[in-house]
């Protein structure tokens, strides 16, 4: 795990449990061959967790917490709803 990206991601999403959920959900999405990364990988074999951390660190991916199930999803792109 790239600690530089982790520290930058923690600045964007300071709530650690929320950050963990965002990263784990994004890694599951990135494991799907049809899903593309929102950022350029640092290398050919960059780990999916590092890609997800880089996406959050660069502000390409954010989190949204829904309080009720009746709310409509956000129209913003690149938002992971928890």
Diameter over CA atoms, the chain: 42
Q: What is the pLDDT of residue 74?
A: 56
Q: What is the pLDDT of residue 35?
A: 93
pLDDT tens for the 82 residues of the chain, in order: 899 999 999 999 999 999 999 999 999 999 999 999 999 999 999 999 999 999 999 999 988 887 666 555 555 567 777 6
* Domains of the chain, earliest start first: 3-81 (3.90.940)
pTM for this entry: 0.81
Q: What is the pLDDT of residue 58?
A: 96
H/E element, 81: strand 79-81
């Amino acid at each position: 795990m790239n600690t530089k990206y982790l520290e930058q991601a923690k600045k964007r999403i300071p709530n650690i449990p929320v950050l963990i959920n965002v990263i784990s959900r994004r890694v599951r999405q990135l494991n799907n061959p049809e899903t593309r990364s929102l950022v350029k990988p640092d290398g050919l074999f960059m780990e999916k967790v590092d890609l997800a951390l880089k996406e959050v660190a660069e502000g390409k991916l954010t989190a949204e917490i829904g309080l009720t199930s009746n709310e409509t999803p956000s129209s913003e792109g690149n938002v992971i709803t928890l």
